[in-house]
Chains A and B, each alone.
Chain A
Amino acid sequence: MELLFTQILNGIVYGVLMFLLAAGLSLIFGLMNVVSLVHGSFFMLGAFLGLTLQQATGSFWIALALAPLPAALVGIVMEILLIRRLYARGHLDQVLLTFGFTFVFFDLVKWVWGANVRSLPPPPLLDGMVTLIGGPFPVYRLFLIGVGLALALLMWLLLERTRIGAMVRAGVDDSAMALGLGINIPLLFTAIFALGAALAALAGVAAGPVIGLYLGMDIEIMIPAFIVIVVGGTGTLKGAFVGSLLIGIVDTIGKAYFPDAALFLIYLLMVIVLLTRPQGLFGVARLS
């Protein structure tokens, strides 16, 4: 029982990390109809940038605060220079473009940081254990849960309670109409893409002390994030949030209790959701 509690907490940690990625992906997909395969790369890039910044400044906090900036910048440049030109073409082109970039970033990380597994120590302030019901639990992970929930709340407020959020929601529903009403959709696209990139990089730095830094962490977070989006439904923050926590908890508990079947559990969950609600738990059914 105590172990189960600890595992659920671990699942939530994994879930909030995925949420940071899935929220950006889901919004980008809902708004721009683009799936950005390169977001996993921003996650990996952010983690390694964080490592370099941490080594240079000696402070984890500076790394956490600064690493998302270059990622956002790359996102802005990519969106304006390349992705924007492809809106008139089909999905395939945009997806392929971001897919090409996953190769580029993968090689870039290998080039700059090498292929070895690296570790990013948690900040000294949070580098300890705290005793909970289930026994000792790392303080840093509790901190991650707090940060993840706070960011989720912040994003929800941004989307639901501000003018900008209203514009984004209008764009998700019908971007042509929103454009007709005078909303600067291209600017919104760029901003959301950059925000998604920054969140992914932030998640990368935050995840560093928990999962370590290695080549291939990009795809390892992307695949479950895809499943989160399919399970939660596209274009909804709520779907990304609930989906992330659900997948995170199911995957972690599966790995702890059914190690042989753990690989399939989240796929099984996804298949069940698809069979009962093809649009995802919180997705709105649309006529294609």
Chain B
Amino acid sequence: MGAPMAETDPPRRYRPLRRQGLWVAAVVALALVPPLGGSYLGNIVVEVLIFAILAMSLDLILGYTGLISFGHATYFGIGAYAAILCGGVLGLGGWLGLLVGIVGAGAAAAAIGAICTRVGGIPFLMLTMAFGQLVYSVSLKWRGLTGGSDGIGGLARPSLFGWSLNDPLAFYYTVLALFLLSYFALRRLIDSPLGHVFVGIRENESRMRAIGYPTRRYKQVAFIIAGAFGGLSGGLYALFNGFISPESLHWTASGDVLMMVILGGVGTLVGPVIGTAVFLIMKNLVSSYNDHWMMIVGVIFVCCVMFFRQGLYGWLLGRLGGGR
């Protein structure tokens, strides 16, 4: 930065401007990936963007509402299965499949959330994990519907305004648009009065209840919204991959999502996106020549919790001297 700026701290109103500049740069960089980076990099970024939606949705309940969910891959999986079953097997097409995935995951989150929010804190996380394993078992055992451990495929990518999404470029920009939409929707939600209630519950639930907020209802609402965005992520993954298997619903998959959020920084929304990118790229690099990926994940998990609790984004903010 220029020397005159450094003498006095820049006035507060300048900061959002700088942030906006950073934002434009990030979006432009993402938009330039396919023409400059080629299809290999493009595919990696698409995967990152899809999982980033999932990680952001987990951050909404984990970071902003204080609900420790250990079964978030469940809604991803339900979204993907619903998209493939309705869009592919029933033949409703990709867009309707995606919609059914979102609604289905939201509905599942409503049902599971209604039970889990009856308890708080640690029992809540035990129950989300238990229900996650229940859905996993169903996906594994209901062979007639889900194809069992073989998984299920057969969802063709639809077209958008006559532009077939089979074209990697079209698919890339669709996913990018949906990712940005999800980010701004979640950001808007968090900055809204409803989002402030969520944060209030995270900070002090008894006090929120004492002021008169029916906190259980609000927690359910947060859980449903997060589930629906998880479903969007799963549906997009079904379109991207054309295939889903129970592995994506396993508790270790839920652990992966948690890891993405924590690695990036809980309760920042941007952090989980960075965490997802780092996690998936690391996974791609490491698991190709090393069998002990799970051990590495575990050790990074432990190290993050012990020594790097603010996450990559928090660390970056600290280094840049920014702050919120």
Residues of A within 8 A of B (CB): 29, 33, 35, 82, 85-86, 89, 91-93, 95-97, 99-108, 110-111, 219, 223, 226-227, 229-230, 234, 263-264, 267, 270-271, 274-275, 278, 287-288
Contact = CB atoms under 8 A, between A and B. Distances in A.
Question: Could you tell me the dominant secondary structure of chain A's interface residues?
Answer: helix
Contacts of B228: none
B16 to A, nearest CB: 30
Interface residues of B, number: 43
Q: Which of A82, A89, A107 has the most CB of B within 10 A?
A: A107
Given A95-B125, A103-B252, A287-B206, A226 B301 contact: no
Given A102-B298, A103-B294, A107-B293, 10 more contacts: A95-B70, A96-B258, A99-B258, A101-B302, A104-B295, A106-B298, A108-B295, A219-B133, A229-B126, A278-B118
Interface of B: 62, 68, 70, 115, 118-123, 125-127, 129-131, 133-134, 137-138, 141, 205-206, 251-252, 255, 258, 262, 266, 292-295, 297-302, 304-306, 309
Given A223-B133, A271-B115, A100 B305 contact: yes
Contacts of B122: 29, 33, 35, 91, 95, 234
B118 A274 contact: yes
Contacts of B305: 86, 93, 96-97, 100
Contacts, number: 112
Nearest to A92: B68
A95 B68 contact: yes
19 contacts: A29-B122, A33-B122, A35-B122, A35-B125, A93-B309, A95-B122, A96-B258, A96-B305, A99-B255, A100-B300, A103-B297, A104-B298, A107-B294, A226-B130, A227-B130, A230-B119, A263-B138, A267-B130, A270-B130
Contact of A100 (B62, B137, B293, B301): B301
A103 B301 contact: yes
B306 A103 contact: no
A263 B130 contact: no
A216 to B, nearest CB: 9
Nearest to B62: A92
B292 A99 contact: no
Contacts of A33: 122
A243 to B, nearest CB: 13
A274 B130 contact: no
B111 to A, nearest CB: 10
Given A107-B292, A226-B127, A91 B115 contact: no
